[in-house]
A and B are shown apart, each in its own frame.
Chain A
């Protein structure tokens, strides 16, 4: 399957991937409204985490692992592996906010929703034409959406 691969040799830590991510997951699909309004009103937040150390940075998100720890840890059935697409699918309605996945995922790819007892996790921009918004927004091709299996 195609996954998002971050390259720390190219990442410049600009956080544009985060902006693209919240825009893609916003109601308005408008970067300004997403950032200035929806973020505060609905707790809209990015599925990515940007880490920095000196000059090195990297933007990571859910790896859609073959054997995901989050699925093993999920007590509510909200996380499961789609055998057809290979995606690690999150069903928000089923989630009870127990944070087991957040604890179990050793990639730090799951975050708490700032307002609700729900998690925020990359869905590879499911249904978005052109694939994940973060990849499209990256100004230095530090994020690649590729098939590498």
Chain B
């Protein structure tokens, strides 16, 4: 087989579209362990909340795979990779040879050792099956405890709440959303959840999950001594790269599968992309695992083109999150929490707690390297341009950006023309 892709998430979709940009003919085989065509993983919270129906989950139209000449082997897990024979063996014992292999196995939920966690009614919230189980059970659930106040935890909590469940979210750090957002944004988001009726408790976590003699879930003992009665526990601490398969095959792994600037892993003909890959960061140049939707697609897209014989370097991952809490939109891009005390960074923040509006801009030397918006997000893309294209921000432009009005006329003239009006020779 010319192209084999392990994994059927967004990185895989990116790879298919990348390959097909270059090679429209050679067959592609996608092996996915879940039993569904690629779906929008973040949509599981919309599904659990009842905001969308299952028919809206798929990422591409039904005919996509056929039109793209992609064979699908779903409900199938790859058991091993033989990098010298260039083949993979599935859990069903089938051996499939490859010329180019993409490992896009994503992440797996990280579950800390909490006594009592093993047993019924403790769930993760990272795939469709988890969501379906919770939907099936929602009618019987009165109270839920969500462990983890990051994006997944808050979304899981919100959707359970929408199903009529009384929800408490526990976050060990002093504030929710500690990775992607800063304190002000987290406070606004937290206040919104609080206003709606979710309980968010920070600086506290689960010490033990209480079960009765039959093993039925009773509740959660907290680190502050409190006890919360509940019918289900959702553990949403985060995901870790799902790289065991690669590691067992002798492929170089650090925090994720190590890839070069063409998304190539250490074995010949093997590539990696998405939440499992450790790839170049756009802003800092070092290799990191940034488990973000957009990166997964972009890495897959880049890997796909290279697998098909093009020479396309990866431009680098950029961390970005957009998430709304009951109608309050929040966006965070790039570096939003620069190292404390580092004087090379400059932060400009404006907060209007009453209007639930917040804007934080982070400059490093003369560049915009990150921003946070809460409430008014209309101009987000225009800020993203400055971060992504790493354009210098002269003083005059800076004033305009600080006033919340970045625009394309602030771009360097050459870049503007090349972007918006290419191929036009100006007359003198």
Contact = CB atoms under 8 A, between A and B. Distances in A.
Indicate whether A and B interact.
yes
Interface of A: 5-9, 51-53, 56-58, 60, 63, 67, 69, 71-77, 80-81, 83, 93-94, 96-100, 102-112, 148
A13 B197 CA distance: 47
Contacts of B20: 83
Interface in B379-400: 379-382, 384-385, 388-389
B320 interface: yes
A73 B59 CA distance: 12
Contacts of A148: 422-423
A76 B377 contact: no
A94 B46 CA distance: 12
Nearest to B423: A148
A96 B294 contact: no
A2 B385 CA distance: 24
From A57, A76, A103, A105, residue with most partner B Cβ within 10 Å: A103
Contacts of A75: 40-43, 293
A5 B37 CA distance: 37
Nearest to B382: A108
Given A58-B420, A100-B294, A106-B388, A72 B322 contact: no
B255 interface: no
Given A98-B322, A103-B333, A76 B43 contact: yes
A102 B58 contact: no
Interface stretch (B79-87, B135-143, B323-331): B323-331
Pick the 3 closest A-B CB pairs, nearest first: A106-B385, A77-B59, A72-B297
A60 B40 contact: no
A52 B322 CA distance: 28
Contacts of B60: 77, 80
B42 to A, nearest CB: 4
A72 B301 contact: yes
A7 B426 CA distance: 11
A124 B329 CA distance: 28
